[in-house]
Amino acid sequence: MPPLLDVRDLYVEFRTRDGVVRAVNGVDYSVDAGQTLAVLGESGSGKSVTAQAVMGILDSPPGYVTGGRILFQGQDLLTLTPDARRRVRGARMAMIFQDALSSLNPVLSVGYQLAEMFQVHRGDSRKVARAKAVELMDRVRIPAAAQRAGDFPHQFSGGMRQRIMIAMAMALEPELIIADEPTTALDVTVQAQVMELLADLQREYRMGLILITHDLGVVADVADKIAVMYAGRIVETAPVHALYKRPAHPYTRGLLDSIPRLDQKGQELYAIKGLPPNLLRIPPGCPFHPRCPQARDVCAVDDPPLYEVTERDGAPVPGRASGCHFWKETMYG
């Protein structure tokens, strides 16, 4: 069976007054039904732009998809008409945005906004749509759902608003959900509740889930595999536990080393030196080489492909790849 979503050699650029910003540069990743793919990276690495291209919600101008394919259940979404793409969006794939307050309409009740999905996409009557909206609110564990359906977004806490966004994404039972930083600005307890809710719904509906985040703690509990992005490209892919145990790219190792640990109390926290590159002027060679602790002369001139990662004895490791000339040194020391 082909993957539920298969992104191949995707390129996205933004044409600005200052020049062309190369935001996504040849991204490849896939996700199967019932599988969770976590996309990691610093701000500006291209995680959200890739997701917007998949959903077909890039602001154009200035954003343009300039190459690649986005195959959803074998169909290339980039070849669809705008109307056909709109029918896929919401009904078959949905997105949860990181800022729920700005994503919800402040002058409409949450019940109305949820019911609208059923009226527009399913042709349900107002009464039936409202009943389904209340059922959804109850499903995402909002207390007194029937009474609160008439409330407005500002009357909910941050965690409850994020549950409303999850309910909206789940409304039409899509095959794929993209969650873009769904726990940003929430406290740790609420983060765990939101992620547990997403995981429960995913198992129930057997959806594919793409989780975009920079929180490695969130990823460890829910993801099946990870794609690490830097400067608009994938620099490492791996099953989640294999990546945490033995990263194969210096950037991934730097991200993992930056996580605070209980056994390092009182010690200085590690930080990756320097800043991510300006996407108007991505450096030649490996884009990470100006910050890389193991960079050599070849790294400044030769842009590495995604190498197949192998065991010490040369046996291939399924699902693993690294965009580093010296991945063996990173992985095995």
Tens-digit pLDDT profile for residues 279-322: 999 999 999 999 999 999 999 999 999 999 998 888 888 899 99
| Residue-range domains of the chain with CATH | 5-223 (3.40.50.300), 252-332 (no CATH)
Burial class (CB in 10 A: 0-12, 13-18, 19+), 266: exposed
Under the banding of pLDDT at 50, 70 and 90, the label for residue 182 is: confident
2-6, 171-175, 216-220, 270-274: the lowest-pLDDT one: 216-220
Question: What is the rounded distance in angstroms from the CA atom of residue 295 to the CA atom of residue 134?
Answer: 56
Q: In what order do the strands lie in the sheet with 307-310?
A: 93-96, 176-180, 208-213, 36-40, 225-230, 233-239, 316-322, 307-310
The tokens 């009182």 sit on which residue? 266
pLDDT in tens, 112-154: 999 998 998 888 999 999 999 999 999 888 999 999 999 999 9
**If pLDDT is split at 50, 70 and 90, which confidence band does 185 have?**
low
Mean pLDDT of 65-89: 93
Q: How far is it, in rounded angstroms, from Cα 46 to Cα 31?
A: 18
What is the rounded average pLDDT of the residues 19-27?
Answer: 95
Cα angle vertex 323, ends 317, 327, to 5°?
A: 65
* pLDDT given at position 201: 84
Taking residues 238-245, report their average pLDDT: 93
Residue 97's pLDDT band (cuts 50, 70, 90): confident
DSSP letters along 221-257, please?
Answer: HH-SEEEEEETTEEEEEEEHHHHHHS-SSHHHHHHHH
Residue 177: other Cβ atoms inside 10 A:
23
pLDDT at 213 (0 to 100): 86
| CA atoms of 172 and 83, how far apart (whole Å) | 18
Sole residue written with tokens 């101008």: 61
Residue 108 has pLDDT above 70, yes or no: yes
Among 165, 155, 189, smallest CA distance to 117 is for: 165
Q: Is 286 exposed, middle or buried (0-12, 13-18, 19+ CB in 10 A)?
A: buried
For 171-190, give the DSSP string: TT--SEEEEESTTTT--HHH
195-222 average pLDDT score: 85
Identity at 234, one-letter amino acid code: I
Q: Considering the chain, what percentage of its residues have pLDDT values greater than 90? A: 65
Reply yes or no on whether the pLDDT at 175 is more than 90. Answer: yes
Give residue for tokens 């109307």.
Answer: 83
Pairing relation of β-strands 36-40 and 307-310? unpaired
54 — pLDDT class (breaks 50, 70, 90): very high
What do you get for the CA distance between the two ends of the chain, in Å? Answer: 37
How confident is the prediction for the chain on average, in pLDDT?
A: 90
**Confidence (pLDDT) at 192:** 81
Paired strand residues for 212? 39, 180
pLDDT: is 267 or 6 the higher one?
Answer: 6
Q: Is the pLDDT of residue 203 over 80?
A: yes
Rounded to two decimals, the pTM is 0.91
Predicted confidence (pLDDT) at residue 67 exceeds the cutoff of 90: yes
